Amino acid sequence: MQENNHIILIKLDHPVVQIYFRKRIRSDPNSVSFCKSEPLGADEIEIEAHAAGVNYRDLLQVIGKGASDVYGCEGAGIVTRVGENCTQFCPGDRVTGRNVFRSYARCHWALAMKMPTNLTFPQAASIPVTFTTAWYSLNEVSSLQPGETVSIHSGAGGNGQALIQVAQLLGAEVFTTISSAKKKTIPNGDVQYSERPYLL
């Protein structure tokens, strides 16, 4: 048990009654309440959450401008249970998944992925949204080919960094923009800079 100011945190090995939080009124951030979890579905896996990413979508949910009342686009943890139709995962697997703003997350098995062994939980929790967006945009939608040129706006942001890495993986030449000199984080040997604006 850990006491921090007026909040007491108790770590349970596996709660008898699993709960998660959601808003009763979408436009009211103060209407967050705890709800009892439904039984595990046949196509679902249960994940003991170890890390969660906070995305812009989650912030929109809090202020009532999101499309649903479910929080947690991405996260990482360890599989604790699997539904009867799931053969791709087993308890003990380290995975990334969705709906992770709870101690024991639930998601359809197709929305989870086994973690590479060299990643920590926080690292893995930061990958799904940005890199899925980047891969789908560059590989599936635009069919980017080796030797082609791509322009990526806001290259220092989360999506921008993922897009740059995927574009380089696909063998493309990358042009990107950043909003300030402070965001030039790539070593000079790997990129050529210009302080002058270019019209592409």
> 139: left (phi > 0), else alpha (psi -120 to 50), else beta?
alpha
CA pair distance 188, 50, nearest whole angstrom? 36
CA pair distance 13, 35, nearest whole angstrom? 19
Query: Strand, coil or helix: what is 82?
Result: strand
pLDDT grade for 1, boundaries at 50, 70 and 90 = very low
- For the beta carbon of residue 137, count every other beta carbon within 10 angstroms: 18
Location of structure tokens 């009892």: 36
CA pair distance 53, 143, nearest whole angstrom? 28
pLDDT grade for 35, boundaries at 50, 70 and 90 = low
* 83 or 199, greater pLDDT: 83
* 192 or 41, greater pLDDT: 41
- Average pLDDT estimate for 47-65: 83
pLDDT grade for 15, boundaries at 50, 70 and 90 = low
What pTM value is reported for the model?
0.72
Q: What is the pLDDT of residues 125-173, one digit of tens each?
A: 999 999 999 999 999 999 999 999 999 998 888 899 999 999 999 999 9
Token couple for 95: 């995975």
- For the beta carbon of residue 86, count every other beta carbon within 10 angstroms: 20
* Strand boundaries in the chain, DSSP class E: 2-4, 7-9, 19-23, 32-36, 44-53, 74-82, 94-97, 104-108, 113-114, 149-152, 173-176
169: closest CA among 113, 115, 131? 131
CA pair distance 135, 143, nearest whole angstrom? 10
CA pair distance 112, 127, nearest whole angstrom? 12
Taking the alpha carbons of 56, 60, 66, 69 in that order, is the dihedral positive or negative?
positive
102: closest CA among 191, 15, 165, 200? 15
β-strands 149-152, 173-176: how paired? Answer: parallel
